Amino acid sequence: MYAAVQFMKLVQYESYPFIFSYLNDILVIPIIATICLHVLWMVKKNYQLRIGVLSLISLVVLYSYYFEYYLPLNSEGYTRDVWDIGCYVAGAVIFYIAQKLP
């Protein structure tokens, strides 16, 4: 989905503002958490391991601080948007539920 959104931006496809503004923010935490989970599986050789709530909260806090506080202060290319933090939280919830599925 992320690649599709980036492609639509590249070809300047007109779409709903939500897709370009918030979909990638919802997807970023599940993408990063999935990569972390696969690395954890490779290192520990235990495919029953799951990423816990505290780890997901840490990931959301890290991304929120970096992209919604630090970068807007230091770069004109970034803006603060409290809705992005909500998207990070939504992505973490989606990932947490998805990893509980068989």
Q: What digits encode the pLDDT tens for the residues 26-47? A: 999 999 999 999 999 999 999 9
Check if the beta carbon of residue 29 is closer than 8 Å to that of residue 56: yes
Q: For a pLDDT cut of 70, what percent of the chain falls above it?
A: 89
17-49 burial by CB neighbour count: b if 16+ within 10 A, else e? Answer: eeeeebbbbbbbbbebbeeebeeeeeeeeeeee
H helix intervals, the chain: 2-10, 17-18, 24-44, 53-65, 71-74, 82-100
pLDDT in tens, 43-79: 999 999 999 999 999 999 999 999 999 999 999 988 8
Return the pLDDT at 61: 98
Return the pLDDT at 20: 64
